[in-house]
């Protein structure tokens, strides 16, 4: 499943989508950025409630397929602009991290 399809399956708001065709290969969840840096795998959809500027940097570092901001966490336009420039796909959902994981398991077979 690619990021376009995942966004549509989960009914996510699209914040930044420079590469919607990118394949989502696995899922990772976590909010402690250094933890994510050391553990998330390339091609993941990373689900988090963190919305500071380092989210873009960490997503680039681990080569995430996309970031999904859970619980409609507030994010500044400036950070969304950085995500576009850095080529980071960024989605947002009102669902919690748990609900997103359950939906992905049920609907996306990941």
Q: In the complex, which residues of this chain contact another protein (CB under 8 A)?
A: 32-34, 37-38, 52, 54, 57, 60-61, 86
**Which token pair is 40?**
């998330």
**Which token pair is 67?**
């970031």
Nearer residue to another protein within complex by CB, 33 or 108: 33
CB of 101 to another protein, least distance (A): 23
Nearer residue to another protein within complex by CB, 37 or 108: 37
CB of 51 to another protein, least distance (A): 10
CA distance from start to end of the chain = 8
**Residue 85 · residue 110 · CB < 8 Å:** no
Neighbour count for residue 91 (Cβ, 10 Å): 23
CB of 102 to another protein, least distance (A): 27
**Residue 24 · residue 2 · CB < 8 Å:** yes
Nearer residue to another protein within complex by CB, 52 or 72: 52
């Amino acid at each position: 499943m690619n990021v376009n399809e995942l966004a549509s399956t989960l009914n996510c708001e699209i914040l930044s989508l420079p590469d919607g065709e990118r394949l989502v290969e696995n899922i990772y969840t976590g909010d402690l950025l250094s933890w994510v840096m050391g553990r998330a795998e390339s091609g993941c959809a990373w689900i988090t409630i963190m919305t500071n500027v380092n989210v873009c940097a960490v997503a680039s570092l681990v080569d995430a397929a996309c970031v999904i901001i859970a619980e409609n966490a507030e994010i500044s336009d400036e950070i969304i602009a950085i995500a576009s420039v850095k080529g980071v796909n960024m989605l947002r959902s009102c669902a919690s991290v748990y609900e997103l994981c359950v939906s992905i398991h049920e609907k996306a077979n990941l």
